[in-house]
Chains A and B, each alone.
Chain A
């Protein structure tokens, strides 16, 4: 087996590339929302415990597994796992480490392209004078590929392809290209983040307006950091913390294995792994918690944040908030915010290209450029449906199956392989080989027992959700093609009924009772307050409503007739595409195994 000459240029470059792989949009958007929804300041306790019991052990496992496989000239998970145990199945489990990266890169580059587009729009002053609703509407127009916010036709596709080409070009330069981007991107990301965090910390009540007189950034920080210790008794809070640690560290993807496979066998992995874990934590807990929540609470009030906190705030709300700083500062704030999201995105998406490139280089001696452009082509083919049918739910299907379920499943299986099949004795030796720090012996038993149990718990807990997803429980229109349209649930429980307010042939507006979260400031507890909400359906010309004003409508009641193509069709296409990709990568690995057998390259 030949040892690849490609290697990391410097240790700092490797650390920054690994940290860049872990730091993503979730550090700024997912963590603060999870903390707000799961015990405020007390969330940090399960967060840190899960970091020690699951995050660090998984980093040790993936770094050491990668370096071990690299010794045999393997730089991607199928043959890294194959080198660790007897039996044919492990290389096919390793297929997830290629499949996940191609599928996630496909839609992740779309989010990354939004950040590029929003940097552009911030610089040219697109958001100047826009209301909050107009800024939110701008995003809807942007992702609706039939519309254009710049006059350039199909601009969402254009930015997406531009982003994919940029990623592919950098990947074609190999590890040195990735390292260079990490060395520039990570310090800039931290600098931009710190500038915005200082603004979040010092905003106070200066953002209050006639529309939001109670707006106060400190309310946001108070709610985020005041510990609600009773929440620690709720298993859902612990599950949320375990999920956050899992997804923030980019474990279960196969990218860490691939990066570590380019290390020499006497190089440290223990200190490197812990350092990247804490660097990711720094960006998340220190910087991430001080931007979105306090700035949004500072201008829109905490009640608005509690009701609307989520991923959409980054694009649908932040540009409006920056406008409140004046045109000049808004330009820089937009540049810093979307710039930091772009760097967070690209350092992660670049990592996703390396496992495929590693596999092709190891097995077919493909040059970096050939590997990179073939990866770009696959990501484009997989990604275009997520761009064209974003609103129909294809994007969410990719995120759920490839970006969530696949990761947890793979991480669980690799932990079992490392601890119980490869063996914890050999595994522990591997972790400590060349280590620059002494890893406490406690971790040996944590990796053996606690980590598999924790990941198993996350996996088992998600089974009901997986079953709901398979059966499309989120919609009452489950047929691909239908001649009737049924009312969807008005709120998550599905018990509320709606009253028809206004109706025309192609339009129905219903009002219904909904509840929203409001903070009781004296007890610092969230309470649910009822309010009147509205739902609007619009239909095409050949479809017509069959309800009248004053009708009481329950979920699943028929409300319109005509030819309908439901979102379930597009979601199913997304699933077939993912299945097709999984089969394709498995077939590639199968053909490699035949080739290896012929060449007598079997390791074990």
Chain B
């Protein structure tokens, strides 16, 4: 393969792979909010109690 082609391929594929891996890692390590009460639901619950 030509050096020019290899450099372009490695740069493009490397950039996208690193970005995809980085963001996926951030998703995996982010604190889950599922257990927290939804702020919208909280408002709705308040309204219901009233």
Contacts and interface: CB of A to CB of B under 8 A. Distances in A.
Interface residues of A, number: 34
Contacts of A224: 5, 9
A437 B27 CA distance: 10
A286 B33 contact: no
A266 B36 contact: yes
B44 A274 contact: no
Nearest to B19: A278
A285 B11 CA distance: 11
A221 interface: yes
Nearest to B6: A225
A271 interface: yes
Interface string A242-284: 0000000000000000000000111110011011001101100
A111 B2 CA distance: 36
Given A222-B2, A225-B6, A274-B23, A268 B12 contact: no
Nearest to B38: A264
Interface in A35-62: 41, 44, 48
B16 A282 contact: yes
Contact of A15 (B2, B24, B34): B24
Contacts of A279: 20, 24
A275 B27 contact: yes
Contact of B8 (A225, A266, A437): A225
A125 interface: no
B34 to A, nearest CB: 8
B21 to A, nearest CB: 8
A383 B24 CA distance: 37
A252 to B, nearest CB: 22
Contacts of A265: 38-41
Given A266-B33, A278-B20, A15 B27 contact: yes
Contacts of B8: 41, 44, 225-227
Nearest to B22: A278
A3 interface: yes
Chain B facing A: main interface SS: helix
Contacts of B2: 222, 226
A369 B44 CA distance: 29
Contacts of A278: 16, 19-20, 23-24
Contact of B26 (A12, A275, A285, A434): A275
Contacts of B16: 278, 281-282, 285-286
A285 B17 CA distance: 9
A41 B13 CA distance: 11
Nearest to A218: B1
A22 B26 CA distance: 20
A224 B2 CA distance: 11
Contacts of B41: 3, 264-265
Contacts of A275: 20, 23-24, 26-27
Contacts of B4: 41, 226-227
A437 B30 CA distance: 10
Contacts of A222: 1-2, 5
Contacts of A370: none
A15 B41 CA distance: 23
A289 B32 CA distance: 35
Contact of B12 (A44, A226, A266, A274): A44
Contacts of B1: 218, 221-222
A126 to B, nearest CB: 34
A572 to B, nearest CB: 43
Contacts of B17: 282, 286
A289 B5 CA distance: 13
A48 to B, nearest CB: 8
B19 A71 contact: no
Given A226-B2, A265-B39, A271-B26, A282 B33 contact: no
Contacts of B5: 41, 221-222, 224-226
A281 to B, nearest CB: 5
A200 B15 CA distance: 21
Contacts of A11: 27, 30, 32, 34
Contacts of A218: 1
A551 interface: no
Contacts of B6: 225
B23 A41 contact: no
A264 B27 contact: no
Contacts of A281: 16, 19-20
A401 to B, nearest CB: 32
Give the one of A225, A227, A268, A286 with max B CB within 10 A: A225
Interface string A569-603: 00000000000000000000000000000000000
Contacts of B19: 278, 281
Given A41-B8, A41-B12, A286-B16, A272 B27 contact: yes
A267 B34 CA distance: 8
Give the one of A224, A265, A289 with max B CB within 10 A: A265
Contact of A285 (B13, B34, B39): B13
29 contacts: A11-B30, A11-B32, A15-B24, A41-B5, A41-B8, A44-B8, A218-B1, A221-B1, A221-B5, A225-B12, A226-B2, A227-B4, A227-B8, A264-B33, A264-B38, A265-B38, A265-B40, A265-B41, A267-B33, A271-B27, A271-B30, A279-B24, A281-B19, A282-B16, A282-B20, A285-B12, A286-B16, A286-B17, A289-B13
Question: Which 7 A-B pairs rank lowest in CB-CB distance, beginning with the nearest?
Answer: A41-B8, A278-B20, A225-B5, A264-B38, A265-B40, A275-B23, A282-B20
Given A264-B41, A289-B13, A436-B27, 8 more contacts: A41-B12, A264-B38, A265-B41, A271-B23, A275-B23, A282-B20, A286-B17, A434-B33
